Amino acid sequence: MQIVVAPGDGIGKEVIPVAEKILRILHPDWEYIPVLLGYDCFVKTGTALPKESLMALTRADAILFGAVTTPPDPDYSSVILSIRKELDLYANLRPIIGHGFDIMIVRENTEGLYAGIEWQEKDRACSLRVVSEAGTRRIARTALALAKKRKGHVTIGNKANILKSDAYFNRICIGEAEASGIRYSLKYIDALVLDLLQHPDRYDVILTTNIFGDILSDAAGYLVGGLGCLPSANIGERHALFEPVHGSAPDIAGTNTANPVAAIRSAAMLLEHLGDTAGAAKIHDAINQAIHTGCRTHDQGGSYTTSGFGEEIVRWLTKT
């Protein structure tokens, strides 16, 4: 197996080495290939996504990705959005798991307001929201396939009362759900955010568009201790990339205080994707055991450093 490791910027350079170390313990025979990309790479080389790095990504069996800084510069292209498009990583899977609830947010990953069709005029800036039939059908089928393996229900998050493109999204998703025999319900995204936080046990698989899924899953981080605990997967037909939901957090970069749980759980999702469900379960169990015995980073009210937390996970994994 070839695993490309792309730490990126900021705290990505601190949390991804922890996750990589854990992967190496479970699979020392795999090849781990480091690549440079992100804003720091741009500053040093003049390009944020070098051709050789992109080629390595396309050849990988899976990608472990950190976080990248995207400056508010209209001429700077988002690295992660570029990768999602180049590799056609159309499905963003964001699990939210806690006491009494197990939710999978399925977010369309290549269209919507993040389609990258933008322009600036004299007195305004415009972003085109794209919802296509092909893009909607494939993300709906992804969500429905997951629901079939779980509780058999999908909630379709939308704003069809305001946006015609969401009404179009709904029609296609409903058609796919009815054809598959999976139960579904519709919920406006603003009400869904509130109800999800108040009653997470009501939800199983949530299907929604790009920016709504981004906001919804970040808000759901409240249920599990913050963004430092949220992993994610970006899945396409031929490629798969796994990354923590959080950003590069430049305000704490270099302090060894970032929470590596999201990165470590992303590594577990990588293992599960490659068929090692036992290894993934070991990682999740080690995290739960460590936290249960008081191992917490600063954002969780503890005193463990990023590397120190990682050492505790290694200890639980190698405990005989």
Active-site residue 168, yes or no?
A: no
pLDDT in tens, 138-162: 999 999 999 999 999 999 999 999 9
pLDDT of 304 strictly over 60: yes
How far, CA to CA in Å, does 190 sit from each of 106, 215, 221? 17, 10, 16
Whether residue 289 sits in one domain with residue 257: yes
Q: Provide the pLDDT confidence category of residue 101 given band limits of 50, 70 and 90.
A: very high
pLDDT of residue 73: 85
Q: Is residue 106 part of a domain?
A: no
Q: Taking 80 as the threshold, does the pLDDT of residue 280 lie above it? A: yes
| Pair of tokens at residue 73 | 């510069």
Mark which of 226, 257, 275 sits at the end of a domain: 226
Q: 10 Å Cβ neighbour count for 74?
A: 10
Overall average pLDDT of the 268-297 stretch: 97
With 70 as the cut, is the pLDDT of residue 190 above it?
yes
Q: Two tokens at 79?
A: 């690295």
Longest dimension (CA), the chain: 67
Q: Is residue 18 located within the same domain as residue 59?
A: yes
User: Residue 320: is its pLDDT beyond 60?
Assistant: no
Q: What confidence score (pLDDT) does residue 108 get? A: 98
When pLDDT is averaged across residues 162-174 and rounded to a whole number, the result is 98
Residue 95, in any domain of the structure = no
Cα–Cα distances (Å) from 160 to 21, 176, 305, in that order, read 45, 17, 45
Contact 286, 317 (CB under 8 A): yes
Same domain, residue pair 220 and 247 = no
Lowest mean pLDDT among 228-237, 300-309, 311-320: 311-320
Geometric angle at alpha carbon 296, from 292 and 299, rounded to 5°:
135
Q: Which two tokens stand for residue 192?
A: 């869904």
**Domain count along the chain:** 2
Residue 218 falls in the annotated catalytic set: yes
Write down the pLDDT at residue 155. 98
Task: Check whether 191 has a pLDDT greater than 90.
Answer: yes
Q: Are 20 and 64 in contact (CB under 8 A)?
A: yes
29 is a catalytic site residue: no
**Nearest CA-CA partner of 38 in 21, 59, 25, 57:** 57
Q: Which of 9, 13, 90, 159 is catalytic?
A: 159
276 is catalytic: no
In the predicted model, is pLDDT for residue 116 greater than 90?
no
Assess whether 60 and 121 both reside in one domain. no
- Per-residue pLDDT, averaged over 95-117, amounts to 95
- Least Cα distance to 87 among 125, 66, 57 occurs for 57
Is the residue at 253 inside a domain?
Answer: yes
Residue 300 forms part of a structural domain: yes
| Residues 214 and 242 both lie in one domain | no
Residue 139 structural domain = 111-226
Of the three residues 226, 253, 283, the one that is the final residue of a domain is 226
Q: Output the pLDDT for position 298.
A: 95
Mean pLDDT of the chain: 96
Same domain, 118 and 82: no
**Dist CA 191 CA 158 (whole Å):** 10
Identify which of 128, 103, 100, 117 has the alpha carbon closest to the alpha carbon of residue 208.
Answer: 103
Amino acid at position 50, single letter: P
Say which of 114, 184, 203, 304 is annotated catalytic: 114
How far is Cα 140 from Cα 158, in angstroms, rounded to an integer? Answer: 13
Catalytic status, residue 190: yes
What percentage of residues in the chain have a pLDDT greater than 70?
Answer: 100
Under 8 Å between Cβ of 261 and 125: no
pLDDT computed for residue 169 by the predictor: 98
Residues 38-87: pLDDT tens digits?
Answer: 999 999 999 999 999 999 999 999 999 999 999 988 788 899 999 999 99
Catalytic residue chosen out of the listed positions 9, 166, 214, 276: 214
Residue range 131-137: mean pLDDT, rounded: 98
From 76, 164, 190, 222, the catalytic residue: 190
List the catalytic residue out of 61, 102, 218, 299.
218
272: pLDDT strictly greater than 80: yes
Instruction: Choose one of 169, 193, 226: the last residue of a domain.
Output: 226
